[in-house]
Amino acid sequence: GESVGLHLPTLSVQEGDNSIINCAYSNSASDYFIWYKQESGKGPQFIIDIRSNMDKRQGQRVTVLLNKTVKHLSLQIAATQPGDSAVYFCAVAFSGGYNKLIFGAGTRLAVHP
Amino acid sequence: DGGITQSPKYLFRKEGQNVTLSCEQNLNHDAMYWYRQDPGQGLRLIYYSQIVNDFQKGDIAEGYSVSREKKESFPLTVTSAQKNPTAFYLCASSAGGGFEAFFGQGTRLTVV
């Protein structure tokens, strides 16, 4: 069946370091991938997305890498700041017919001064 | 401002009662979704709708019902058949498949 998983449930980093959050997915037909950030008690917020015809996409301080061969994507946050502390989810979409977003379990990022 | 609004923010339900959670969007999005989130867990899909008057069951639809009579509204009813309804419920909308979903701020439902 479809599943999306994360390698690490919690990631602790020092302020200023780079953070890497990983996500694995199971369905090779997946063609749209999104990273969300969720702060406590709030709804997830969009960070960055990537489509299957790309391997890399960069935003402000964030980069998403997609490796379709091993069905893996990662979110890299440069110069991590205390405000980056949150839970990060990857989400995978399957196009064709009814489209739905499948979310991974999430990784909690804790940034220490 | 365009956005997606969920109400109420907190909701208490007695056992055996049905309750309805509201979700409204003014983004002109075709697709709307309901997710359930338990503490320390990810988001699990309850129902989704790609167009008015049509909706599909997600992974955990049992004990829930929805309607999509208007494009901007996608209410979720938690019925008494849902054995463990205490959770954080999130509504989202998107322009369709292959587009980012925008989330509301959630409704925290507690059974008392």
Show residues of chain A in contact with B43, CB under 8 Å: 44, 89, 103
Cβ A43–B97 below 8 Å, yes or no? no
Instruction: Name the residue among A10, A4, A78 with its Cα closest to residue A34.
Output: A4
The residue-averaged pLDDT of B45-68 equals 94
A32-65 pLDDT tens trace: 999 999 998 899 999 999 999 999 999 999 999 9
Cβ A102–B92 below 8 Å, yes or no? no
**More confident position, A61 or A95:** A61
Instruction: Name the residue among B4, B11, B5, B18 with its Cα closest to residue B107.
Output: B11
Q: What does the alpha-carbon distance between residue B85 and residue B91 come to, in Å, rounded to a whole number?
A: 16
Instruction: Name the residue among B31, B16, B4, B10 with its Cα closest to residue B63.
Output: B16
User: What is the reported pLDDT for A105?
Assistant: 82
Beta pairing partners, A58: A63
pLDDT at A95 over 90: no
* Collapsed DSSP state (helix, strand, coil) of residue A84: helix
B24 to chain A, closest Cα gap in Å: 15
**Considering chain B, what percentage of its residues have pLDDT values greater than 70?**
96
CB contact A112 to B (< 8 Å)? no
Q: Across A1-113, where does the E strand assignment appear?
A: 4-5, 10-14, 19-25, 32-38, 45-51, 56-58, 62-67, 72-77, 86-93, 101-103, 107-112
Confidence of residue A6 (pLDDT cuts 50, 70, 90): very low
Cβ A45–B103 below 8 Å, yes or no? yes
Select from A42, A43, A100 the Cβ nearest to the Cβ of B45: A100
